Amino acid sequence: MSDIPVSSVVQVIIGVAPTFPSRKGFGTLNIIGPSSVIGTLERSRIYNSIDGVAADFAPDSEEYKAALVYYSQSPAPQQLVISRRVATPIGAVLRGGANNESVVNNWKAITTGSVKISVGSGTTDITGLNFGTVNSLAGVAAVIQAAVRAAGAAPALTAAVVEYRDRRFQLTAGDTGPSSVVGFAAPAATGADISAKLAWTAATAARLAPGSDTETPVQALSASQDANQDWYGVAFTKEVRDTEAMMDVAAWVQARTKMFGFDTEDRENLDSLNDSSLAYRLDQGAYSRTLGAFNDVPGEYSAVSALARLFTTNYNVADSTITLKFKQEPTITPADLRASEKQAIDKIHLNAYYDVGGNPMLGEGWMFGGRFADEVHGLDWLQNAIETNVFGKLYTDGTKTPMTDAGAATLQQQVEKGLDQAINNGLGAPGYLPDGTYLQKGYITDVVKIKDHNQSDKEARQGPPITFKLIGAGAIHGITVNGTFQR
């Protein structure tokens, strides 16, 4: 029988089309705190519930307290990031690999263990390690730590820490600051080598991290961003509250598509004429990406609660957009504000949770400079939605999007898809432009005709500009009702 394949006559080729890119999430807060639970090598962790946070952080930690406020909102957000700020100088770290020896009985069989470690400027052989009586991996780490501390006189060794955390063996030098260093482990001259069992060798270890001085909030913020960019809002735990560093954080956030939750306990911020207060200066600087909240009770996280409520907005659902005014803040104590103090914070666009006729509510839901939080949040979403739609069309087009009026129209359609969704979720609505033009759809788009498109942009394959105008739906925050009583 002939071995000539059918494909020599009929050839079928099936390619896999690229998938349409996903949109960014705008519902994740990053809480940055000083607890040592998360090391600088890891820097950030993602949580999906308060139970996950509780498994890592003690109930009295500020990270847990802020997370509890976050997840107490109703409806509750789905995701949270917690990041580490180095609050005091720390030593260099050798983070072992995940493929370490994790069976305790296999360690118990080792009575003459040894390992060569590199801490500080030299190497040290750690020998005579007897694990015969250990009952846990934490016990294995304790045996090694005792031997390391007894092996030298320098603080790098005498105060070194060996621990089993997050299913890895970790070595932290006893000295601190940028001069603190560690290296990979290797077999010692004598004894039963355990360097590979610890996953501390150059081939098996996860990472090395140098020592560090105390970080400023902005330094911690930048490091957190480098480690994990999948968050939109940020808030700090209370130890850096009302410090000058918060101005630096607000400036960092202002230059990015992010939001900053700023909590303050300083009653100087209740004076709208106090031009030295942080809130006054943030408002004068129009830091429109910073939401400030006054806390009457020290240590509470009102801004975190406000952002949690905002971040539950699902822009894919009809009539889902909200205003923060009138919203509840579970676990937050309403501030005891005089009417004059409320008027003062309104002037500098500082929010507070307070009682109105015995009803606790958040007011007014704005950012410093006077823009409302839901508007900033919604327009960030819309920008990303349109960017993703247009890029997705270009990216998934099997051939090309031609430089023609028809080609430009297909990209205009992608812009309108995002605008249609903005009308559907309530960010926009039919209404009038300032010139009196009524927009039935709530928006209008336009694209430059190819014949009018700049020739140099054509040659550079830069498409014709697309523009749009969208009528914002806004929200009613107050109303006046006039009536007449007729006898």
Q: Please answer whether residues 177 and 71 qualify as being in contact, where contact means their C-beta atoms are separated by less than 8 angstroms.
A: no
- 93: which DSSP letter? E
Is residue 43, in this structure, part of any structural domain at all? yes
Asked if residue 368 and residue 222 are part of one domain, the reply reads yes
Is residue 392, in this structure, part of any structural domain at all? no
Asked if residue 120 and residue 66 are part of one domain, the reply reads no
pLDDT value of position 307: 98
Is residue 117, in this structure, part of any structural domain at all? yes
Is residue 16, in this structure, part of any structural domain at all? no
Which amino acid belongs to residue 367?
M
Range of the domain at 430: 404-487
At which of 142, 176, 209 does a domain end?
Answer: 209
Stated pTM of the model: 0.89
pLDDT value of position 17: 66
Asked if residue 221 and residue 270 are part of one domain, the reply reads yes
Q: Which regions in the chain score pLDDT beneath 70?
A: 1-2, 6-8, 13, 15-17, 20, 22-23
Asked if residue 361 and residue 227 are part of one domain, the reply reads yes
Asked if residue 304 and residue 239 are part of one domain, the reply reads yes
pLDDT value of position 337: 92
Query: 366: burial class by Cβ within 10 Å (0-12, 13-18, 19+)?
Result: buried
Query: 437: burial class by Cβ within 10 Å (0-12, 13-18, 19+)?
Result: exposed
pLDDT value of position 3: 76
Secondary structure (DSSP) of 194-247: -TTTTT-STTT--EEE--B-PPPHHHHHHHHHHH----SEEEE-GGGTTSTHHH
Asked if residue 101 and residue 75 are part of one domain, the reply reads no
pLDDT value of position 10: 78
At which of 187, 209, 231 does a domain end?
Answer: 209
Asked if residue 220 and residue 75 are part of one domain, the reply reads yes
Is residue 19, in this structure, part of any structural domain at all? no
Asked if residue 280 and residue 416 are part of one domain, the reply reads no
Asked if residue 173 and residue 82 are part of one domain, the reply reads no
pLDDT value of position 1: 63
pLDDT value of position 350: 97
Is residue 8, in this structure, part of any structural domain at all? no
Q: Which two tokens stand for residue 22?
A: 């996903």
Asked if residue 98 and residue 62 are part of one domain, the reply reads no
Is residue 311, in this structure, part of any structural domain at all? yes
Q: How many domains does the chain have?
A: 3
pLDDT value of position 271: 85
Rg (CA), the chain: 29
pLDDT value of position 189: 93
Is residue 364, in this structure, part of any structural domain at all? yes
At which of 174, 209, 244 does a domain end?
Answer: 209
Asked if residue 116 and residue 181 are part of one domain, the reply reads yes
Q: Which two tokens stand for residue 390?
A: 């247009």
